[in-house]
Amino acid sequence: MAFTVFTVATFAALVLLGFAVGAFGTLVGAGGGFILTPVLLILYPADSAATITAISLVAVFWNAASGSVAYAWQRRIDYRTGAVFAASTLPGAVAGAVVVQFANRRFFDAVTALLLAGLAVWIGMSRTTEPSNVRQSGRSIRHLTDRDGNSYDYQVPLARGAIFSVGVGFISAFLGIGGGVIHVPLMVGLFGFPVHIATATSHFILAIMSGASTLTHVALGSFMHGHGLHRAASLSIGVVAGAQLGALLSKRLPGHRIRQLLALALIALAVRLGLSVI
């Protein structure tokens, strides 16, 4: 049922939704936007695509910022790589926030459902690339040791990753999904990142990218319709708390379980959103 008015009950429901999204989004390193956007599309069928993505990106920003603080404490963020990838997402992130202003809602729903389904299949079929000890051309060597004493050695294709990040920024801002759901599979399956480093670094990238997209939406007036600001604030309260739980849970789950949870969530949301389009 759509939330057509903003009441105390609506506020409480959105806070709880934000908490669940924040916890799961941080656990898998995707920021929660890939869950939140389809849910908001179902809850608010009359709202424009621009309003939905604007609300989602605010929540993604606070989710990513809160999760980044937790992951920073765990010492699992690759700041050098994250800074390069984040800077590369910015042009696409701003462009995506502008282009979505002109998107037809039915078309937007269909594209979102197809993307979620495609990502689920890709994640389910792909295999983690094992980090190589042999120095590879065009890759930067990384060595990280987290707070628990776990060591991670891997190599990063910075130039290739930066190019991919431009596209990730556009798609993520256009759909309001934040980008982690694309970046994490890329970093793990294609670039050879350890899963736990990829999820943490993805959150750092998300915080920067979603912040830029949100400011663009503010400038374009995307929050002026309905109760956009109220909804965004309510969800943000929940995701900040949920992100801390998700970061804690991530320490207790192996990498392959995190990938499985991500794929299952994607396919479930794709099916539900696809049914609403038909």
What pLDDT, in 10s, does the model give residues 68-113? 998 999 999 999 999 999 999 999 999 999 999 898 888 888 888 8
Which of 31-35, 130-134, 221-225 has the lowest average pLDDT? 130-134
To 5 degrees, how large is the angle CA 106–CA 112–CA 116? 150
Q: Is residue 238 domain-resident?
A: yes
Give CA–CA dist 8/30, Å, rounded. 29
Which residues of the chain form beta strands (DSSP E)? 140-145, 151-156
What is the CA 217 to chain-centroid distance, rounded?
17
Least confident of 85-99, 163-177, 188-202, 255-269: 255-269
Domain count, the chain: 1
Lowest mean pLDDT among 41-50, 143-152, 172-181, 228-237: 172-181
How do strand 151-156 and strand 140-145 relate by DSSP bridges?
antiparallel
Residue 2 lies in a domain: no
Q: Does residue 255 belong to any structural domain of this protein?
A: yes
Domain assignment present for residue 1? The answer is no
> Distance between CA atoms of 145 and 268, rounded to whole angstroms?
35
Asked if residue 29 belongs to a domain, the reply is yes
Residue 77's pLDDT is 95
Residue 235 lies in a domain: yes
Residue 155 domain flag = yes
Taking the C-alpha atoms of residue 18 and residue 33, their distance in angstroms, rounded to an integer, is 10
CB-based burial, 52-87: b 16+ in 10 Å, e otherwise: bbbbbbbbbbbbbbbbbebbbebebbbeebbebbbe
The average confidence (pLDDT) of the chain is 83
Which candidate, 166, 162, 160, 180, places its Cα nearest to that of 90?
Answer: 166
Query: pLDDT tens, 213-245?
Result: 889 988 888 776 657 788 888 998 998 888 888
- From CA 130, how far away is CA 194, in angstroms rounded? 8
Q: Is the pLDDT of residue 187 over 70?
A: yes
Domain that holds residue 60: 8-277
Lowest mean pLDDT among 47-56, 59-68, 237-246, 260-269: 260-269
272 occurs within a structural domain: yes
- The token pair at 52 is 């939905």
